[in-house]
Structure 1
Amino acid sequence: MRHLNAFYIFNTVAHSSSYSQAASRLNITHGAVSKQIATLEDYLQQKLFVKRGRKMCLTKEGAILASYTNQAFDYLSSAVTRLEQEKQQCLNISCEPTLSMRWLMPRLTDFQDKFNTEIRLSTAGGNVDLASAGLSMAIRRNDFTVNSNYNIIDLGDEWVGPVLSPEYWRQIEGNLMYATLIHSDTRLNAWADWFREADVARPTPSKQRSFGHFYFSIQAAIDSLGTVVGSYPLIMDEVKRGNLIAPYGFIKSGYRYVLLTKNHCLEERETQFVNWLVEQFSFCSPDLNYRPA
């Protein structure tokens, strides 16, 4: 294909605020970027960018082309990732940090033993660019708008409820009104949402304690520093061990856990992981008749 390098540079500029920013990303000069864009515009006989202030903005024709070049280079990146995985027999999976540490990692040995496939796990939450991150799939809570180019595989409802240590439950004499409410910066509305949905009166004033990450909030509850609204997969093992109890049970949060994959036919290893993950999540619904001992 003629001018493939120019198309690649165009795609980078289309996702940058200026030629200078694109040049920095590509590690080439501003002049080299301008020259390649001019070459492409001459080849296509179309104006692709227009300058507005300090920004280079796509024209209507440029926007149409960008939608296709973005897909094309995403597919190319996906192909390279798949070739690397074929060589290394591995899958690159992204998962939300606390879900990774509290739920997925303790179970990965089961998958690796069954299918002889290495899982390379990275942690992140929210939106994700699978292609640019070199990822096969991403496990997420669906609290953001998902890229329309991805397949969404449903894993199940998120169930939430206040959890605390048995010792702390005794300290507050089984009364939430005396409890310290633990918050996480990553789930700021967890308590407000739970009080509303569970139709439970909120203590006023209530004692508060905050942590920067959900993982620390759960650990604080285990250490009897208060009570936190826990998501069931993240605390289910600690409940089963008796380190945490859920005296108010669990309710649906309104969110779901999902697996995001690229929009292509899954290879055998990917299919094996999807099926295994769906099976594992099938055990992540709480016993609605649960009552702490």
Structure 2
Amino acid sequence: MLPPLGALRVFEAAARLASFSRAADELHVTHAAVSHQMRQLEDWFGRPLFLREKRGVSLAPDAERLAEALSASFERIAAEAEALKLRTKSEITVACIPSIATRWLIPALGDFLAAHPDITVKVIYATAAQRLRETGCDVLITLGADKSDGVLCERLFSRVNRPLASPRYLERKDGLNNAEAIAGADLLHDETTRHWQDWFAKAGLQLAAPRGPVFQDFNLLATAAIAGHGVALCPVEVCRREIANGDLVVLSEISVLEGEGYFLISKASRQKAVSAFCAWFKDVVDPRSGF
């Protein structure tokens, strides 16, 4: 038969600190509560466990081995409890390029956190040139596949680019329904004018140097297009929501960059929390999910 377990916890603290008052402070109870618990425990053992002195208490010699055993046991319990807590609560780091982070990951992330309160997610920026090993992250969402050994690479979006413009711009520039008309529009560029050159070549036109501002980041380009500054070549799958909402309109089915894509990348031997995140995000971007 075990002694009262609550009293044993109080006894261990009082023995370790050699003080009822300090034990009370550590356990967030009153001095009177500690004294009561110690009297109860001494009644159970039928002998005194502490020597009461004018300046405090000291451990009775017969109780020293009990105090040592309890301290060791509570330390082990605390260590095992912390280990279980860490196994239960996981943290994963997701590196994501800005275009996918702002359009798909961040807007939906609250749903994942609500469904998995035991998982903490840290989101950082990734560049299109990075690969999983370089980031040191659990998950990488980026442009282009990672063909490294031991990596699981899953396609999320096609990079098929088509001309897009906002209804606001089309009110001012009516009739942008063919390549010749688009050539006379205000063209917006993502990092380089080469993509527009390739598009016009595919449409049967040769434009040596298409004019218009060049944006370093796709988010900047998309913002400019939505604001009505011109026509931008954009990945239609990544911009699926803007198109569905009517913020952007597809002007032509002629496309470029058909062979490229955006990928979800993780280690092939991934932990449970990473598997849960990857399965969730693939469902988020699946066209059948209704965005």
Fold match by TM threshold 0.5: yes
CA distance in 2, matches of 1:267, 1:234: 28
- Does the 8 A contact of 2:197 with 2:209 survive in 1? no
Shift of residue 179, structure 1, vs aligned partner: 0.8
Aligned to 1:245: 249
Distance apart, 1:242 and its partner CA: 1.7
Q: TM-score normalized by structure 1?
A: 0.59
- Pick from 243, 246, 267 the counterpart of residue 262 of structure 1: 267
Contact 1:179 1:227 in 2 (8 A): yes
Cα pair distance change 1:249/1:181, threshold 3 Å: same
SS state at 1:254 partner: coil
The answer to whether the aligner puts 1:140 opposite 2:145 as a matched pair is no
Corresponding residue number in structure 2 for 1:75: none
Paired residue total: 200
Q: CA deviation at 1:156?
A: 4.1
- The offset of 1:133, in angstroms, is 3.8
Residue 268 (structure 1) shift:
1.9
Give the deviation of 1:219 after TM superposition. Answer: 0.5
Cα distance change of structure 1 residues 263 and 165 upon mapping to structure 2, 3 Å threshold: same
> Percent identity of the aligned residues?
22
| CA-to-aligned-CA distance 1:60-116 (integer Å, 9 cap, x gap) | xxxxxxxxxxxxxxxxxxxxxxx9984752221111112111222111112222222
Within 2, Cα distance between the matches of 1:207 and 1:172? 17
- Retained in 1: the 8 A contact 2:153–2:263? yes
CA RMSD of aligned residues (A): 3.1
Unaligned runs of 5+ in 2: 1-83, 177-181
Q: Which has the larger radius of gyration?
A: 2
Q: Distance in 1 between matches of 2:258 and 2:135?
A: 29
Q: Unpaired runs of 5+ in structure 1?
A: 1-82, 287-293
* Structure 1 residue 132: Cα displacement: 6.0
Aligned-partner Cα distance in 2 for 1:260–1:94 = 10
Question: Structure 2: which amino acid aligns with 1:184?
Answer: D
Contact 1:141–1:258 (8 Å) recurs in 2: yes
Query: How far, CA to CA, are the matches of 1:215 and 1:135 in structure 2?
Result: 23
Does the Cα contact within 8 Å between 1:233 and 1:284 map onto a contact in 2?
no
Helix, strand or coil for the counterpart of 2:259? strand
Cα shift readout 1:205-264 (whole Å, capped 9, x = no counterpart)? 744121221111111111111111111243222222222111214746211221211232
Alignment of 1:1-293 (within 5 A): 86=87, 88-116=89-117, 117-128=119-130, 130=132, 133-142=135-144, 146-175=147-176, 176-185=182-191, 188-197=193-202, 199=203, 201=205, 206-249=210-253, 251=255, 253-264=258-269, 266-283=270-287
SS in 2 for 1:253: coil
Q: What TM-score do the two structures reach when normalised by structure 2?
A: 0.59
AA aligned opposite 2:143: R
